[in-house]
Amino acid sequence: MEFDDKIRGTKGVVVCLRDMGDGTSRLFFDDVAADKEANPTNWSHDSFYTFSPMFSNSELEDMSLSAQHFEQIGVAVVARLLALNGRVK
């Protein structure tokens, strides 16, 4: 695909970054549902999925997490998307 056809799956994962106020931050992952497949404009919260370990703010801001932590974040997102869409083997 060379352009955005504006078609999306109706289930997704949203990730937010929360400053915990003590020099650390955590990523939170929540399931969301789209209002429609074609050019969805509203995504609503469906359920809490998981959260990351605490990371130091400086590690995050410098993008210096370990390769293992970056991999774990990516695996958590892809695994959840597969599960939400019934594609887990």
- Please give the chain's pLDDT, 89 residues, in tens: 689 999 999 999 999 999 999 999 999 999 999 999 999 989 999 999 999 999 999 999 999 999 999 999 999 999 999 999 999 87
How many domains would you assign to the chain?
Answer: 1
The residues, any chain, with a CB within 8 Å of residue 6's CB and separated by 6 or more, are 38, 39
50: phi > 0 → left, psi -120 to 50 → alpha, else beta; which?
Answer: beta
Residue 73 domain-assigned (yes or no): yes
Residue 43 domain-assigned (yes or no): yes
pTM above 0.85, yes or no: yes
Query: Residue written as tokens 């993008």?
Result: 63
Predicted confidence at residue 89, as pLDDT, reads 75
Residue 3 domain-assigned (yes or no): no
Residue 25 domain-assigned (yes or no): yes
Residue 89 domain-assigned (yes or no): no
Residue 5 domain-assigned (yes or no): no
Instruction: Note down the domain range covering 36.
Output: 11-84
Rounded CA Rg of the chain: 15
